[in-house]
């Protein structure tokens, strides 16, 4: 198993292949639907005007995300009243909802990895090759276990979106993932989809 610490270089991204298990350490940022939509509309397509404080958030995120990882996660966090934040649960959420946004966000912020579950589609896979970056699959149903890898909360951004949708800057140690989409056009999710379709077509073609 390979151990990787952010920031991640392009050369290292190119070395990673589908099926490779990885332990991630360093800085990553959580982000789900609201965060991706906000980043695209406010700073990439610029169809929405920044609100007070947004430009500072943007500058902070540029530093956190450069060479780093976005995690599709809606965490459960304790210490909200005292701001002594601790991740209680941090399981991956379904990634395909971010398909319209992901490649553009990765390119704009020079992000080198995205973590989630279920994989992503053709646009993201193309972005993996161009940016480059990789998709890491995390373990579904292991939210409490994964939260143990979170060593520190570095900051939280856009809390008005709510705790699960806010962007949490975190420092992790030995976060377990598997590469399932790489920068060479490989996608384990596409392979599984195709093989599943073949089995389904065969079943449907059988006389009963």
The 10s digit of each residue's pLDDT in 61-89 is 999 999 999 999 999 999 999 999 999 99
Which carries the bigger pLDDT value, residue 157 or residue 198? 157
CA–CA distance, 103 with 96 (Å, rounded to integer): 12
CA–CA distance, 70 with 93 (Å, rounded to integer): 12
pLDDT of residue 204: 62
> Among all residues, which ones are annotated catalytic?
36
Pairing of strands 167-181, 134-137: antiparallel
pLDDT of residue 103: 98
Domains of the chain: 2-205 (3.20.130.10)
Per residue in 8-23, pLDDT (tens digit) is 999 999 999 999 999 9
Which carries the bigger pLDDT value, residue 1 or residue 111? 111
Whole-model pTM: value is 0.91
For the chain, the straight-line distance linking the first and the last C-alpha, in angstroms and rounded, comes to 47
Instruction: Please provide the size of the chain in residues.
Output: 208
Q: How many CA atoms lie within 13 A of 186 on its CB side?
A: 16
pLDDT averaged over every residue in the chain: 93
């Amino acid at each position: 198993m390979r151990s990787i610490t952010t920031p991640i270089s392009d050369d290292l991204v190119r070395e990673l292949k589908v099926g490779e298990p990885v332990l991630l350490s360093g800085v990553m940022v959580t982000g789900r639907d609201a965060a991706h939509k906000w980043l695209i509309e406010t700073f990439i397509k610029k169809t929405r005007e920044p609100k007070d404080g947004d430009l500072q958030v943007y500058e902070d995120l540029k530093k956190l995300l450069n060479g780093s990882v976005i995690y599709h996660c809606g965490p459960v966090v304790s210490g909200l009243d005292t701001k002594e934040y601790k991740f209680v649960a941090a399981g991956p959420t379904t990634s395909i909802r971010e398909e319209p946004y992901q490649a553009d966000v990765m390119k704009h912020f020079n992000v080198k990895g995205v973590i989630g579950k279920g994989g992503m589609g053709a646009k993201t896979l193309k972005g993996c090759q161009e940016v480059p970056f990789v998709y890491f699959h995390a373990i579904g149903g292991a939210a409490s276990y994964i939260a143990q890898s979170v060593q520190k909360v570095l900051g939280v951004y856009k809390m008005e979106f709510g705790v699960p949708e806010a962007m949490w800057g975190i420092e992790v140690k030995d976060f377990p993932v598997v590469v399932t989409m790489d920068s060479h056009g490989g996608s384990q999710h596409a392979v599984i989809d195709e093989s599943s379709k073949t089995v389904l077509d065969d079943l449907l073609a059988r006389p009963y």
